[in-house]
């Protein structure tokens, strides 16, 4: 009777309910909390009716940080020493060597004409005055003074011409070319004088091959000597020009 009563009480429907068991709860952490995605506010350009950006307002592409490669430097060519005026039709150059120019031809004419007057002028003057060679030989002082004057002028004119022609050119070689062309002009004038004198006196037969040979020999000797004397005058002019430039530079630096 007691077992049946106990079995009846132990049926699942009639058993007393078991007391609830307390569960351990964890505090909520940030990792367990769901994250909210914050969407950015719509910019004015994204709003409907907003004006579209022009191409000039678009962001320019980033510039290349590497600088462009520089072209290789070429060696500088030396400038010619002679500086000529543009449009000078009298100028003729050969490898930076000025053969002719306006100052060269001008002073060459002065040197050649002056040398011709020095060589021929005294004889013509004495002939016009009726002074013979015998009278000159009887007065050695006058003849010696005349000889020294002729020699100084013959050597001084090429130096003067080379100096004056180099004032503009700035190179001693132009002085040498001036006196060289001066010797050429002197030879042409002397040849014409001899031909005219021979024609007047009736001695054209003396104008032959040996005569032209002696004229050419004299031109070669006088041309080489004149080039050296003209180069000397050009060197003096160049030296004075450099001294003036140095003095001007010192004056400018001191001020």
Q: Is residue 194 part of a domain?
A: yes
Q: Are 111 and 161 in contact (CB under 8 A)?
A: yes
Cα 39 off chain centre by = 70
What is the pTM (predicted TM-score) of this model?
Answer: 0.60
pLDDT of residue 100: 85
Q: Is residue 82 part of a domain?
A: no
Cα–Cα distance, 39 to 37 (Å, whole number): 6
Per-residue pLDDT tens digits for 17-52: 555 544 555 555 554 445 555 555 544 444 544 444
Q: Is residue 244 part of a domain?
A: yes
Per-residue pLDDT tens digits for 147-196: 899 889 999 999 999 998 888 767 888 889 999 999 999 999 999 999 99
pLDDT of residue 111: 94
Distances in whole angstroms, Cα of residue 131 to Cα of each of 39, 120, 134? 129, 15, 8
Q: Is residue 34 part of a domain?
A: no
Q: Are 105 and 92 in contact (CB under 8 A)?
A: no
Of the two residues 233 and 87, the one the predictor is more confident about is: 233
Domain total for the chain?
Answer: 1
Q: Is residue 184 part of a domain?
A: yes
pLDDT of residue 139: 84
Domain that holds residue 159: 92-254
Give the Cβ contact number of residue 177 at 10 Å: 28
Using CA atoms in the order 118, 120, 123, 128, what is the torsion angle rounded to 10 degrees?
A: -110
Q: Is residue 191 part of a domain?
A: yes
Q: Is residue 46 part of a domain?
A: no
> What φ, ψ does residue 94 adopt, rounded to 5°?
-135, 105
Can you say whether the dihedral through the CA atoms of 92, 95, 98, 99 is positive or negative?
Answer: negative
Residue appearing with tokens 């004149």: 226
* 98 membership: H or E segment, kind and range: strand 97-100
pLDDT at 242 > cutoff 50: yes
Q: Is residue 136 part of a domain?
A: yes
CB-facing half-sphere around the CA of 180: CA atoms within 13 A: 15
């Amino acid at each position: 009777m007691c077992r049946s009563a106990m079995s009846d009480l132990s049926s699942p429907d009639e058993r007393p309910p078991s007391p609830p068991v307390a569960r351990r709860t964890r505090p909520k952490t940030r990792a367990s909390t769901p994250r909210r995605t914050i969407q950015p506010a719509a910019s004015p350009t994204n709003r409907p009716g907003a004006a579209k950006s022009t191409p000039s307002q678009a962001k320019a592409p980033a510039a290349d940080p590497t600088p462009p490669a520089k072209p290789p430097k070429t060696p500088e060519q030396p400038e010619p020493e002679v500086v000529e005026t543009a449009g000078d039709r009298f100028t003729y150059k050969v490898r930076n060597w000025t053969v002719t120019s306006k100052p060269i031809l001008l002073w060459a004419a002065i040197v050649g004409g002056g040398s011709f007057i020095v060589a021929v002028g005294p004889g013509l003057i004495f002939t016009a005055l009726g002074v013979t060679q015998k009278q000159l030989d009887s007065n050695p002082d006058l003849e010696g003074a005349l000889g020294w004057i002729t020699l100084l002028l013959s050597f001084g004119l090429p130096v003067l011409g080379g100096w004056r022609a180099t004032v503009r050119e700035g190179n001693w070689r132009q002085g040498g070319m001036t006196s060289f062309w001066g010797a050429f002009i002197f030879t042409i004038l002397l040849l014409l004088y001899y031909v005219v004198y021979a024609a007047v006196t009736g001695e054209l037969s003396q104008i032959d091959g040996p005569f032209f040979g002696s004229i050419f020999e004299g031109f070669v000797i006088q041309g080489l000597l004149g080039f050296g004397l003209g180069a000397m005058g050009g060197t003096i002019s160049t030296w004075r020009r450099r001294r003036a430039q140095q003095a001007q530079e010192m004056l400018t630096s001191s001020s």
